[in-house]
């Protein structure tokens, strides 16, 4: 069990990020939850109580993000863990069928946002003496598929960035783990299909997907390992999903 830690979770308002926040607080930790949807953050604040600090911010808004993280209240300032969960897939079809705006949104969120949060918090993680970064990647980073192009490449960046950063952190008492889930039931597909719930549901029609809680348990397992143990990577997928993204 991981307890008495202060953990920053991005993309906290739904899916894996929300499942991580709930489990962390149940185990006696404090969570700084970053999300875009202010109304949902307020609801979460009521649910999770005083150990949850909601930060309404889009990870793509670098200036606002840095300002908010730099001014955390004293009781949440000693951040020792970071879960880089915010990420999305927009558009479908070939590279030429995806709009410039969708490409920019994926890269700004999955790549630039993750970089910004990590850079802003890394000094605190080092100072804590027990830092740990968990990057939520995807099996799309490992297995190529038609239509993957920008999204899959952005997750490959997350994986390689994490592996390279890990080499810089040796001796600094900050561990790093990449977690790559397969198909997981969440609002991820709803975002991909621009809010079309019927099409989003179709993504799970022939498979029993992972639940966000399944992935959260893998994340917390990595976090609770002894400080001399670094879990480099975890890949998990539904038992009935083939060894490919689709």
| CATH class of the 6-181+211-236 domain in this structure | alpha beta
Torsion of CA 190, 90, 86, 177, to 10 degrees: 110
Sorted by where each begins, the domain ranges of the chain are: 6-181+211-236
Q: What are the pLDDT tens digits along the chain (246 aa)?
A: 899 999 999 999 999 999 999 999 999 999 999 999 888 999 999 999 999 999 999 999 989 999 999 999 999 999 999 999 999 988 888 888 899 999 999 999 999 999 999 999 999 999 999 999 999 999 999 988 878 899 999 999 999 999 999 999 999 999 999 999 999 987 555 555 455 566 656 666 678 999 999 999 999 999 999 999 999 999 999 998 886 544
The per-residue pLDDT for 192 is 55
Give the per-residue pLDDT at 177: 98
- Residue 34, Cα to own-chain centre: how many angstroms? 10
Angle at 29 between CA 25 and CA 30, to 5 degrees: 90
Query: Residues with catalytic annotation?
Result: 151
Question: Distance between CA atoms of 159 and 58, rounded to whole angstroms?
Answer: 22
Q: How many angstroms separate the CA atoms of 30 and 198, rounded?
A: 36
Q: Give the pLDDT confidence score for residue 245 in this predicted structure.
A: 47
Looking at residue 144, its pLDDT comes to 83
């Amino acid at each position: 069990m991981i307890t008495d830690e202060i953990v920053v979770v991005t993309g906290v308002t739904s899916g894996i990020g929300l499942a991580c926040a709930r489990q962390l607080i149940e185990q006696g930790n404090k969570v700084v939850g970053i999300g875009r949807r202010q109304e949902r953050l307020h609801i979460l604040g009521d649910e999770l109580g005083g150990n949850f600090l909601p930060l309404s911010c889009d990870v793509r808004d670098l200036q606002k993000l840095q300002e908010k993280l730099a001014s955390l209240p004293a009781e949440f300032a000693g951040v020792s863990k970071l879960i880089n969960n915010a990420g999305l897939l927009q558009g479908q079809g070939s590279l030429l069928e995806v709009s410039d705006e969708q490409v920019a949104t994926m890269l700004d969120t999955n790549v630039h946002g993750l970089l910004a949060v990590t850079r802003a918090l890394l000094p605190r993680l080092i100072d804590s003496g027990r830092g740990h970064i968990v990057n939520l990647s995807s099996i799309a980073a490992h297995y190529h598929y038609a239509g993957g192009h920008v999204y899959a490449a952005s997750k490959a960046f997350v994986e390689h960035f994490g592996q390279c950063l890990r080499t810089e952190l040796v001796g600094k008492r900050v561990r790093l783990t990449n977690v790559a889930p397969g198909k997981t039931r969440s609002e991820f597909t709803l975002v991909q299909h621009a809010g079309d719930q019927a099409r989003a549901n179709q993504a799970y029609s022939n498979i029993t997907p992972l639940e966000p809680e399944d992935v959260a348990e893998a994340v917390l397992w990595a976090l609770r390992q002894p400080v001399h143990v670094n879990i480099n990577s975890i890949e998990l997928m539904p038992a009935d999903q083939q060894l490919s993204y689709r």
